[in-house]
Amino acid sequence: MDETPRTGNASILDGNSFKAADAAALPPRARDLVERRGALLGPAYRLFYRRPVEVVRGRGAHVWDADGVEYLDCYNNVASIGHAHPAVVEAVHAQLATLSTHTRYLHERILEYAEDLLGTMPGLDQVMFVNSGSEANDLALRVGREATGGRAWIATSEAYHGNTALVSAHSPSLSGSEAMDPALRVVEPPDAYRHGSAEAAGAAFLAAVRVAIEDAEATGDGLAGIILDSSFSSDGIHTGEPGMIAAAIELVHAHGGVVVADEVQPGFGRTGEAFWGYQRHGLQPDIVTLGKPMGNGYPVAAMAARREVLEPFASARPYFNTFGGSPVAMAAAQAVLDVIRAERLQARALATGDVLRAELRALAERHPAIGDVRGAGLYTGVELVTDRDAKTPATGQALRVLEELRERRVLTSVCGPTNSVLKLRPPLAFTPDDVPRLVEALEGALAAVF
């Protein structure tokens, strides 16, 4: 495993990855599955871990492998309200047994869900449904360009917004292998750990956004706006302090730009402090994009927008999405919203996340490799360093910690420009009872690596 610290653009997709050379050490069944994958799915498909996990069953924040071994899932935010949640299972079953069709016929479900969803987003009036966060962002980037006449989007330096051609070209985390859009402006994320405070990080972010705007305007590209994940997940989870990025966002608006809040990561109550990540920062975006957790495993995604911003695109382009907004997708999405409220998952995320980070900070007092513990609700980053004063990224060690966690039946991954930040993003079904197990596993993993 490569232990060289990388200095940026470590793909979010190769931080925690099985390598072909690991195959020889696998038991026969895993080796067979790995070989069939390579033959049938080709080289783009990656696996987590040196010893990949064959997950066959899930429930709540727990999954089981083919041998019946149970794991604590601290990573998956698709099964956000809990793996195989019965409310979603039954809602999908009932609707799929009744009707699944497109939006060229009238159906009440899409309207009921649209009303419910938009009710959580004051300031936004309309929503379009798609199948993935990638499709949502592809649409958002075009809507914003049409609304402003500008070409230039601003994004953060390790951002990942999806896999279509247009969105890949606006995902700087892929810039090692993908050509970026010629008009894209890249800014550093607000890293309170390295800037020393959220205030300083917010000021640096504001300054970087100002330079990007002025450059976009000066070159004639014109400003389209900014697209950002307000938890800066791929950048290393920079939740900072509420309001930290508000001034930068105001500046984009002052220059006529469109603000796209990509809520694929922080949305649906995860940060605990607000239902949407952008609300935690007191922002008013023009467009909000949704993906992964929206259907708890059923493919559904959306782009909500201010009417005035959507209108130039939507009235001119005959955009249609066959599966988007089907009654089954809406049934899944409605069940997710209902469960978040009924089980008070946002409040639980807030409380549980605070407990978790308190325990992790206590652990940090005994382990100098933990340089920083940060987060909000059930979204936590643990930055590992080889030197606390110099804040030197412990990239290779972080990857080994992951493997050690996996051996201790705790699933997670890494993020950030040097893949040195443990990304703890469990299903919201994760409870305070799960905290000791995670912290003990991490303590054991750190002892094994450092």
CB distance 346 to 309 below 8 Å: no
Asked if 338 touches its own copies (CB under 8 A), the answer is no
Which residue among 4, 21, 122, 320 contacts its own copies (CB under 8 A)? 320
Q: Which residues contact 433 (CB under 8 A, 6 or more apart)?
A: none
Q: Degrees (nearest 5) of the Cα angle 443, 236, 193?
A: 80
Q: Which of positions 126-145 make contact with its own copies (CB under 8 A)?
A: 126-128, 131-135, 138-139, 141-142
Asked if 331 touches its own copies (CB under 8 A), the answer is no
Asked if 390 touches its own copies (CB under 8 A), the answer is no
Both tokens of 33, joined, read: 């599955």
Asked if 153 touches its own copies (CB under 8 A), the answer is no
Asked if 428 touches its own copies (CB under 8 A), the answer is no
Q: How far apart are CA 252 and CA 240, in angstroms?
A: 20
Helix (H/G/I), strand (E/B), else coil: 72: strand
Which CB, 145 or 357, lies closer to its own copies?
145
Conformation bin of residue 416: beta by default, left when phi > 0, alpha when psi is -120 to 50: left
Helix (H), strand (E), coil (C) string for 406-423: HHCCEECEEECCCCCEEE
Asked if 118 touches its own copies (CB under 8 A), the answer is yes
Asked if 409 touches its own copies (CB under 8 A), the answer is no
Which residue among 88, 192, 248, 382 contacts its own copies (CB under 8 A)? 88
Which CB, 310 or 394, lies closer to its own copies?
310
Q: How far apart are CA 417 and CA 11, in angstroms?
A: 8
Q: How far apart are CA 399 and CA 2, in angstroms?
A: 9
Asked if 426 touches its own copies (CB under 8 A), the answer is no
The candidate with the shortest Cα–Cα distance to 287, out of 296, 274, 278, is 278
In whole angstroms, how close is the CB of 80 to its own copies at the nearest point? 11
By CB neighbour count within 10 A (0-12 exposed, 13-18 middle, 19+ buried), where does 433 fall? exposed
- Which stretch, 28-36, 184-192, 224-232, 392-400, contacts its own copies (CB under 8 A)? 28-36
What pairs with residue 376 in β-bridges? Answer: 379
- Which stretch, 9-17, 186-194, 246-254, 439-447, contacts its own copies (CB under 8 A)? 9-17
Asked if 110 touches its own copies (CB under 8 A), the answer is yes
Which residue among 4, 21, 24, 40 contacts its own copies (CB under 8 A)? 40
Q: Which of positions 63-82 make contact with its own copies (CB under 8 A)?
A: 63, 76, 78-79
Asked if 28 touches its own copies (CB under 8 A), the answer is no
Q: Which of positions 278-307 make contact with its own copies (CB under 8 A)?
A: 291-292, 296-300, 305, 307
In whole angstroms, how close is the CB of 399 to its own copies at the nearest point? 15
Which CB, 44 or 390, lies closer to its own copies?
44
Which residue among 1, 111, 347, 362 contacts its own copies (CB under 8 A)? 111
- Amino acid type, 442: L
Which CB, 265 or 352, lies closer to its own copies?
265
- Which stretch, 31-39, 238-246, 254-262, 341-349, contacts its own copies (CB under 8 A)? 31-39
In whole angstroms, how close is the CB of 324 to its own copies at the nearest point? 8
Q: Which of positions 162-221 make contact with its own copies (CB under 8 A)?
A: 163-166, 168, 174, 177-178
By CB neighbour count within 10 A (0-12 exposed, 13-18 middle, 19+ buried), where does 178 fall? middle
Which CB, 236 or 299, lies closer to its own copies?
299
Dihedral angle, C-alpha 225, 163, 302, 318, nearest 10 °: 80
Q: How far apart are CA 293 and CA 276, in angstroms?
A: 12
Q: How far apart are CA 338 and CA 316, in angstroms?
A: 35
Reported as type and span, the H/E element at residue 302 is strand 301-305
Which CB, 86 or 282, lies closer to its own copies?
86
What pairs with residue 130 in β-bridges? Answer: 301
Which residue among 92, 261, 283, 422 contacts its own copies (CB under 8 A)? 92
Asked if 89 touches its own copies (CB under 8 A), the answer is yes
In whole angstroms, how close is the CB of 295 to its own copies at the nearest point? 9
Q: How far apart are CA 60 and CA 62, in angstroms?
A: 6
Asked if 42 touches its own copies (CB under 8 A), the answer is yes
In whole angstroms, how close is the CB of 105 to its own copies at the nearest point? 4
**Quick count: other Cβ atoms within 10 Å of Cβ 172?**
24
Which CB, 146 or 273, lies closer to its own copies?
146
Which residue among 8, 13, 367, 431 contacts its own copies (CB under 8 A)? 13
Asked if 56 touches its own copies (CB under 8 A), the answer is yes
Asked if 39 touches its own copies (CB under 8 A), the answer is yes
The candidate with the shortest Cα–Cα distance to 206, out of 252, 171, 242, is 252
Asked if 114 touches its own copies (CB under 8 A), the answer is yes
Measured in residues, the chain has a length of: 450
Q: Degrees (nearest 5) of the Cα angle 229, 234, 238?
A: 65
